[in-house]
Amino acid sequence: MSENCNHDCSSCTETCSSRTPESFLEQPHAKSSIRKVIGVVSGKGGVGKSMISSILAVNFQKKGYHTAVLDADITGPSIPKAFGIHERALGDEEGIYPAVTGSGIQIMSVNLLLDDTTDPVVWRGPVIAGTVKQFWQDVIWTDVDYMFVDMPPGTGDVPLTVFQSIPVDGIVIVTSPQELVSMIVAKAVKMAQMMNIPILGIIENMSYVECPDCKKHIEVFGKSHLDEVAQEYHLPVLGKIPMTPAIAAASDAGDIENLQSDWLQDAVTVIEGAAPVKG
C-alpha cells in the first residue's frame, strides 16, 4: 500500500498489492433470482451448443430444479424453436418476462422479440453484446436454480461480454470428433482461463452413429480425439452424444422436452457437484 493511499482506488494511479481489480459484473433485474449460471461454449460453430444447452436444461428440470436458457447467440437463435415456443416475449414497466415452456423452463431469445423469426439480425458487435446484457439485466428471471447460457461460437464480443458481465459459475465446452478438435478446445480453454472461469468439462456431439441392428458404434467422422484432448487439458469428458434422427426430429418439432436420453447424466452430476444449489 502506498504511503499516500487515500483508500479510494477509483481515483488512485498507484500500483500496489491492495488495489482491487475493477469488476464489470452487472446486477440482474432487481426482481430476478438466479442461483447458478453455466455457459455452453465452443471455439467454432455448428457443433450443437444450442441442442446441448436445451437438453441440459431439460435434464435439470426433470430432476426438480428450476431452469432457464439465456440464448446469447443473437445472430443464430434456435432455442425457441427447439422448445416449440412461437409467441413473443411480453413486458411492462417492470421489465421483460421470459417465455415459459411446457415443463416450466424459462427462455429468452432475440427470436422472441422479432416480428418474424426469419428476419436476420444485422447488427454490429456492440449492439449484439448490449442485447445480451439486457437479457441479463432487464428480464425478470423467477426462482432459477440453473441458468444455461447458449453462447455464440468463437471468442468475440458476446462471449467476452458474458464472461465480464454475468457471474458465470462454470462452462461446458462442446466439440465434435474431428482433427481440429484440439484447436477448438484450446481456444475455449484459453479464453476461460484468461477470464478466470472454471471449466467443468467437455461434451462431444455427433460422436458416433449406433447401428440399429447390432448396436455397434460407427465413427462417421473418424476416430475421436476427445479423450486425448481432455487428458491434455486435465478436463473430464462429460458425455458423447450420437448422431441420431431422434434429436433432429425433436428439435424440428419443438419437442426437445420429450426427447428420451441419458447421454448427459455425467454432465448433470459434474455440474451439480461443481455448482451446487443450496436449499
Which string of DSSP letters, residue by residue, matches 205-248?
Answer: SS--EE-TTT--EE-TTSS--HHHHHHHTT--EEEE----HHHH
> Residue 222 above 70 pLDDT?
yes
| pLDDT score of 20 | 44
Could you read off the pLDDT of 83-114 as tens digits, one per residue?
Answer: 999 888 999 999 999 999 999 999 999 999 98
| pLDDT score of 216 | 86
Helix, strand or coil, per DSSP, at residue 255: coil
> Residue 184 above 80 pLDDT?
no
* Model confidence, pTM: 0.89
Could you read off the pLDDT of 36-72 as tens digits, one per residue?
Answer: 999 999 877 778 899 999 999 999 999 999 999 999 9
β-strand 209-210 against 217-218: which pairing, if any?
antiparallel
Measured distance CA(215)–CA(213) in Å, rounded: 6
